[in-house]
Structure 1
Amino acid sequence: MKRTEQVTLTNMCMVKNGDKILVLNRTDPVWPGLTFPGGHVEAHESFHDSVVREIKEETGLTIKNPKLVGIKQFYDHNNERYLVLFYTANKFTGQLHSSDEGELTWMTESELKQHQLAYNFDHDLPLFFDENLTEHILDGKRDELF
């Protein structure tokens, strides 16, 4: 029995400033809509360093002390595991600027939920807001939060 497999590692971070949340309106035609900034973990990069780097690249902000709050897993079109590490951060420095990923906006949680979200992102949101949830499993048979 093989104990290793091909896995794509990514991250996403909800940056908070008081009651406002930093939201990215993605321009990517494959996964458009509102979501949180984030991206891929590079080879030999720690998860912490990857989320700090991705937020800096996409927003101009340097987050401090990102907290891991959950994980999402699914299988991509090649039937390979895809993991998204979910973080929150409420301390940051820098000047906010949008990137090629899309426009950035500060919104409240209720404002966010009234807009067009990226596909299936509404199923991810509870992990950012409910400390009793830590995992979202999405595959052909189930879409469950734990």
Structure 2
Amino acid sequence: MKRTEAVTLTNMCMIKNKNKILVLNRTDPVWPGLTFPGGHVESHEAFHDSVIREIKEETGLEIEDPRLVGVKQFFDHNDDRYLVFFYVATKFTGTLKASDEGDLTWMTREEIKKAKLAYNFDHDLPIFFDEKLSEHILDGDRDQTY
């Protein structure tokens, strides 16, 4: 049995400021809609460092002490595994500045639930809000949260 496989590593971070949460309205035609900012992990980069870098690139904010809260996994069009490490940050500095990824907005949790979200992002949200959950998997017809 093969013990290695091709994997894409990414991250996403929910940035909280009191009762507001930063959302990104993605313009990417592959996965448009509201989500949290994040991006790819570079070769030999620590997951922690990657989320700090990606948030700075996409929002202009420098987050401190991001906390890993869960992971999402699915399989891409080549049937390769795709992992998204979910983080939460409540401390940050800097000035908010949108990037080519899309516009940024502060919203309440209730506003987010009513908004047009990126495909299947509504299934990711429980991982960010429920400490008892830590994993979301999509595989064919399987769409489960643990």
| TM-score, with length taken from structure 2 | 0.99
How many angstroms does 1:2 deviate by?
Answer: 1.1
Matched residue SS, 2:57: helix
Kindly provide the CA deviation profile for residues 13-53 of structure 1, in whole angstroms up to 9, marking residues without a partner as x. Answer: 00000000000000001100000000000001000000000
Written as runs of structure 1 = structure 2, the 5 A alignment for 1:32-71 is 32-71=32-71
Counterpart residue number, 2:74: 74
Question: Percent sequence identity over matched residues?
Answer: 76
Matched residues in 1 for 2:20 and 2:116: separation? 18
Counterpart residue number, 1:28: 28
Q: Would you identify which runs of 4 or more consecutive aligned residues in structure 1 move more than 6 Å?
A: none
Counterpart residue number, 2:99: 99
Matched residues in 2 for 1:145 and 1:37: separation? 21
Paired residue total = 146
Provide the aligned C-alpha RMSD in A: 0.5
| TM-score, with length taken from structure 1 | 0.99
Matched residue SS, 2:71: strand
Structure 1: unaligned runs, 5 residues or longer? none
Matched residues in 2 for 1:78 and 1:111: separation? 35
How many angstroms does 1:101 deviate by?
Answer: 0.2
Structure 2: unaligned runs, 5 residues or longer? none
